[in-house]
Amino acid sequence: MKVLLINGSPRVNGNTARALKEVADTLAAEGGETETVWIGKKPVRGCCACYTCASKGLGKCVFDDDIANQIIEKLQTADGIVIGSPTYYGQPNGALLAVWQRVCFAGSAHIKTKPAASIAVCRRGGSTVAYQCMNMPFEMLNCPLVTSQYWNITFGRDEGECDRDTEGMQTLRTLARNMAWLLKNLKRDDAVPRPANEPWQPMHFIR
């Protein structure tokens, strides 16, 4: 029962890291194993729509000069996924979006069908939009979204301030217990297999 946590904040010890630690500690208490990856502060690439990863079946992004492919590699052994980000202008951190979009496209085989969750950290407003934005790729990749007693959001600006958001911290602990419960049930010998997906029928509306 291994869960990969991705810290999408440029601050290694900021409130996003604290929120993810609350999840990690609770998962550990439930018998889970976690690993947290920080995207860092170095420049990252956005997807340039070259399609090389798909057309050549690489299973990774053709650009190997940032953390995207390292995340794809770690996803191969993960049973569940949690991504976290601060809220900037009502959106997740742009660096996280740039990396995560490439990870989801090039490494989709290692994300599909895995239980997943997002956490938005916010000073004041915009968190629900950022939270929804982070969830949308999971919905496209057939991932069961792990929910909680409320949206997975916690509030704070200065380092460690989200500790004072007692309901937010409780929400994250509930999220972690729900993730552990789901993963344990999926690993049961009598677990019902996933239904087979229909072949994809892509279309657009330009004639």
pLDDT of residue 34 exceeding 70, the answer is yes
Q: What is the pLDDT of residue 204?
A: 87
Angle 46-51-55 (CA atoms, 0-180°, nearest 5)?
A: 150
Q: Pick the range with the lowest mean pLDDT from 6-20, 103-117, 185-199.
A: 185-199
Buried b (16+ CB within 10 A) or exposed e, 156-179: beeeebbeebeebbebbbbbbbbb
pLDDT band at 206 (very low <50, low <70, confident <90, very high): confident
Q: What is the pLDDT of residue 20?
A: 98
pLDDT band at 205 (very low <50, low <70, confident <90, very high): confident
Q: Pick the range with the lowest mean pLDDT from 72-76, 106-110, 154-158, 202-206.
A: 202-206
pLDDT of residue 207 exceeding 70, the answer is no
Q: Where are the domains of the chain?
A: 2-186
Was domain 2-186 assigned CATH 1.10.760.10?
no
pLDDT of residue 126 exceeding 90, the answer is yes
The three-state secondary structure class of 170 is helix
Beta carbons of 16 and 166 less than 8 angstroms apart: no
Give the helix ranges, DSSP H, for the chain: 15-29, 52-55, 68-75, 94-106, 127-140, 166-186
Q: What is the pLDDT of residue 156?
A: 97
pLDDT of residue 141 exceeding 80, the answer is yes
Average per-residue pLDDT for the chain:
96
Q: What is the pLDDT of residue 132?
A: 98
pLDDT of residue 18 exceeding 70, the answer is yes
- What's the gap between Cα 56 and its chain centre? 26
pLDDT of residue 7 exceeding 90, the answer is yes
| For range 147-162, the mean pLDDT | 96
- What's the gap between Cα 150 and its chain centre? 17
Q: Is the overall model pTM greater than 0.85, yes or no?
A: yes
Instruction: Give 72-112 pLDDT, tens digit per residue.
Output: 999 999 999 999 999 999 999 999 999 999 999 999 999 99
| For range 171-190, the mean pLDDT | 97
d(Cα 204, Cα 207) in Å, to the nearest integer? 8
